[in-house]
Structures are given as structure tokens and as C-alpha cells.
Amino acid sequence: MINIFDIIIVKIIFLLISTFITMEVLKNNQPFDLLPDEMLIHTLILVDAKTLLDCRLVCKRWQELIDAFVFQEKVALENKFVNNGQGYSSFSQIGSNDIRKIELPWYVFYVISKYDPFNRNLIKNHCGQDHWLHWESINAAGVMAPFLSDLDLDYDFSQVSRIPQSEQLLLSDPDFDGQSSFFNVDFRHLRSIYQEIIFKDYGLNVTLMKTLQPKIVFSSWSKTRYQYILYRLQATLYSETNSSKVVTADSLNEESPTEWKRASDSIETMGHETSLRLNHSVIEVLEQPALYNFQVTCSVVKILLPIKYKNAYLL
């Protein structure tokens, strides 16, 4: 009969022996020295991005392989997005040999595998699916006020509603991402709603911004309740070193202002920018504020990854 203590003792002995073997092996680095580059690369791809930073410090060979191949291959495997010069497509559609032709420093691939910041919508709660979460507002008194809860809005007609299924054109925009709600903003009480994107939250620190100087695209769908109201979509870049740069996409829709319309524009960055604010507001056109009311949904901000290939012939 097997005694429970025998099992425990056997387990402890096994643990000691295996720990000892592992330590000896790591000390001499032998099994990895025996592995060919390809196998080492394919093993390291399975390691998470943050740990790979530590792995870079193990030895020169590891660092060279990680910098030249591992981060790139990892990004390729994990299906992140890349511009192949003909629009944006998935890394997974690019053969792994071609991925090696992409001229970007290793830390860009590290940031892609850790934060996935490029070519996707960085606006949170972009259609109001989580009510006012992540959005802030400027009220009629000109005061910045975060939304505390929907209850705060009881006194006015600002609310989140559903887009009717009949709005096919609107809902077929892939940026809706399966959502179908919109913000209905009562201008008597709220002058603007806005959201800020801090670049370093997505791994885009000064080094990354300076290296890439990425272009940023932004858009939204809007409609106004009455004629003669001008909806304004505004993106403002902020930097620590100098004043902000404002790009607005005014969505003046004179023919049918009360139908959904998409406003969009883009901004070039210069490398010193640290954040972006996307602001929805109304420009007064008629002195009848009681009638001002705008509806907005599908706010989008995408930072585009600029890519150069070492050989230009990639399809």
C-alpha cells in the first residue's frame, strides 16, 4: 500500500532534482546553444512581450534574434494590422519572409505586440453603448463636467438612444463595430462632449512619436434636430513643448441637415505630440438655443502606422 508521505517525499525529491537540473542548464545556457536560430525564434515567440524585454538581456545572440525577428514574428502571428502600401491589412496576410523586410525598429514591434495602438479605433465607448462612460462635457456655463451617471442628465434631454434598423447606410459603416446607439445632446445644457487620448497609454512615448510621426484620422456620424445648426467635429493635438494644433472637420449639411452625415479629417503629427482631444460641439447659427440639439455616434480616432519596406515590390 502506498503511504501518502511516500508520495510527498517522492514529489519533493523530484522537485529538488528538477530544480537542480534547470539551474545547471540555465547556468551553462547549453540547451539553447544547441538550438538552431529558427527554433529559438519560434520558442521565444510564445513568450509575452514584457518578458521578452528581459530575454533581450540574456546574451548577445538572444538580443539580436529578438530585435531582428522575434517581435516582428510575434506581431505577425497575433494578427495585428499593417499598411502594405495599398491600404491597411492584417499582418497575417503577409508572408513571414516579407515581414522581415519591414523597416521599423524592434521597439515599434514591441509596442505593437504589447499595446496594439495602430489602425484601430482608440475612442472608448464610441457609440454610447456604455452610456456616458469615458466622455466628458462642457456645460452651458462653460464648465468642464465629467458625467457622473445618467441620473445627472434627468434635468435635460441629453440621452443615449438606439439607431433604427432602417438607417442601413449608417449601420453598414464597419467602424460601428456591431454597436447601434447614439448620443442625443441637448445644447441648452451641454455645449460639447469630448474624449482625450493619451498617446503613452498606447506605448507611444516620445521615441515612438518621433520615429514614426504618424498620421491620425478621425471621424464621426452626426445629425441635428433642426435646420441651421452647424455640428463641429474637432481634433486638437497637445504637446508638452509647444501650443496645440487644431484641425476641425465641420459637418455642414445644408441640403438635409437632419439626416445622418459622416464628418472626417486627418492630422499630421511632428513627433512632439503627447495627446489628442476629440470634441463634438455645435456652432450656433441661429439665435434660438432652445432648439439646438445634436445627435452623434461612431466617434473614431485611428493612428496610422507608416510602413516602409526594404524592398518595394511587396504586394
111: nearest Cα among 242, 303, 287 = 303
Q: Which of 159, 184, 207, 275 binds ligand NAG (CB under 6 A)?
A: 207
Integer Cα distance of 249 and 241 in angstroms? 25
Where in 100-159 is the site for ligand NAG (CB under 6 A)?
107, 110-111, 138
Binding piece for ligand NAG, criterion CB under 6 A, among 24-32, 42-50, 160-168, 275-283: 275-283
Q: Which is nearer to ligand NAG, 93 or 205 (CB)?
A: 205
Q: Nine-digit cell at 223?
A: 445629425
Q: Which of 72, 179, 192, 251 binds ligand NAG (CB under 6 A)?
A: 192
In angstroms, give the least distance from the CB of 236 to ligand NAG: 6
Strands, E assignment, 32-106: 81-83, 88-90
- By the rule CB under 6 A, 199 interacts with ligand NAG: no
- By the rule CB under 6 A, 279 interacts with ligand NAG: yes
Burial 225-245 (b: 16+ CB within 10 A, else e): beeebbbbbbbbbbbeeeeeb
Supply φ then ψ for residue 265, to 5 degrees: -165, 180
In angstroms, give the least distance from the CB of 251 to ligand NAG: 12
- By the rule CB under 6 A, 206 interacts with ligand NAG: yes
Number of neighbours of residue 113 by Cβ within 10 angstroms? 24
Q: Which residues bind ligand NAG (CB under 6 A)?
A: 107, 110-111, 138, 191-192, 194, 205-208, 232, 234, 241-242, 270, 272, 277, 279, 281
